[in-house]
């Protein structure tokens, strides 16, 4: 069993808006770095982000389904529906391929979950979650 010395983002309670802003900033820079190096993570979610609260630093982990990005003209070469469905971008379900922008979508879903405690398109049924993602129907609680 692997040991990680820091909790992931789903296991912590954020202390302030400043802490949330720091986390978001680091995630944006982390994804920018990956994408500049032609790597798409494909499973960005709180469980795949370790957080050292003492130092305020993040580590993106679990690159098991990441993929090197190859763009051939306008064609996108990633076709596999892989990752965690609550964080999927619509283009993953639509078909025709996708690119690294799916990581940005998943980042938005991750931020939403950090703020609200749940993902925006979440439903009790997988098929309803897919429909919510494709239609852009967000869940807002009072």
- Tell how far CA 91 is from the center of its chain: 14
Is 23 in a helix, a strand, or coil? helix
Active site residue 43: yes
Contact between 93 and 109 under an 8 Å Cβ cutoff? The reply is no
Which residue among the candidates 43, 77, 103, 128 is catalytic per the annotation?
43
Cα–Cα distance list, 10 to 51, 118, 126 (Å): 10, 10, 21
CB under 8 A, 24+ apart: contacts of 26-30: 26/57, 26/58, 27/58, 27/60, 27/107, 27/110, 27/111, 28/107, 30/58, 30/60
Q: Among all residues, which ones are annotated catalytic?
A: 43
């Amino acid at each position: 069993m692997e040991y990680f010395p820091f909790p992931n983002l789903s296991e912590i309670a954020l202390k302030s808006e400043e802490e949330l802003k720091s986390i978001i900033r680091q995630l944006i820079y982390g994804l920018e770095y990956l994408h500049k190096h032609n790597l798409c993570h494909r499973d960005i979610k709180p469980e795949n982000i370790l957080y050292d609260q003492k130092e305020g630093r993040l580590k993106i982990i679990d690159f098991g389904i990441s993929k090197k990005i190859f763009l051939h003209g306008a064609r996108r070469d990633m076709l596999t529906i892989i990752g965690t469905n609550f964080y999927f971008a619509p283009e993953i379900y639509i078909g025709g391929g996708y690119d690294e922008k799916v990581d940005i979508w998943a980042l938005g879903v991750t931020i939403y979950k950090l703020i609200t405690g749940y993902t925006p398109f979440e439903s009790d049924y997988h098929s309803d979650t897919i429909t919510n993602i494709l239609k852009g129907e967000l869940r807002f609680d009072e």
